[in-house]
Amino acid sequence: MATETERKYRVDDLDAIRARLCALGAKRLRRVEEQNTLFDTPDRALLARDSGLRLRAERDLDTGKVTATLTFKGPRELAGAFKTRDEWEITVSDGATASAILEQLALTQLMSYKKRREYWGLGRVAIGLDDLGRVGKFVEIEGAAAEIETAERQVGLVVAQVEPRTYPEIITDHERT
């Protein structure tokens, strides 16, 4: 188990963020297209506990390699504008079979969504540049709280841009409007 601490920002222009990262000497690690599928019990017990089970299929846009990861996220602990939660992840060799197993365990697919992500490294933080199409563009910074704040300042992000919702919450709210 790992503990994930992150801050997410809604932005208008990923190109400006990308240029700033390059100027700071950050390294782009990879570019991927993700298919994220969320599972829950029929009575939505995980959602009621503010937890989630996600199966992610990720296609590397440079190599074409496809990987799949199964992730369980525990309840969010909000400390100011930071989101912290326990997270368990495993790589699975066959995403379709993993999905079938979950469904055989009476878990149902709540929702599925795609996004494009660029993974960047800057010092001791991981930065994701996320494009969810019409839903919006986002930057996620993951690391220790003080390191996130330092990277935030370096990249030119401001607390007013912080997006506290998860991607499933953002997508659900977007679909309602």
Count, residues in the chain: 177
pLDDT band at residue 82 under the 50/70/90 scheme:
confident
Among 141, 140, 132, residue whose Cα is nearest residue 168: 132
How much is the average pLDDT of 82-98? Answer: 95
> Hey, which residues does 57 pair with through a beta bridge?
35, 68
Instruction: Provide the domain count of the chain.
Output: 1
Predicted local confidence at residue 20, as pLDDT: 97
- CATH number for 143: 2.40.320.10
- In the predicted structure, residue 79 carries a pLDDT above the cut 80: no
Which helix (DSSP H) or strand (DSSP E) does residue 118 occupy? strand 108-122
How much is the average pLDDT of 91-110? Answer: 96
The C-alpha angle with vertex 106 and arms to 103 and 108, in degrees rounded to 5, equals 60
Full residue range of the structural domain in which residue 133 is found: 2-176
- Distance separating alpha carbons of residues 161 and 10, to the nearest angstrom: 5
How much is the average pLDDT of 77-103? Answer: 91
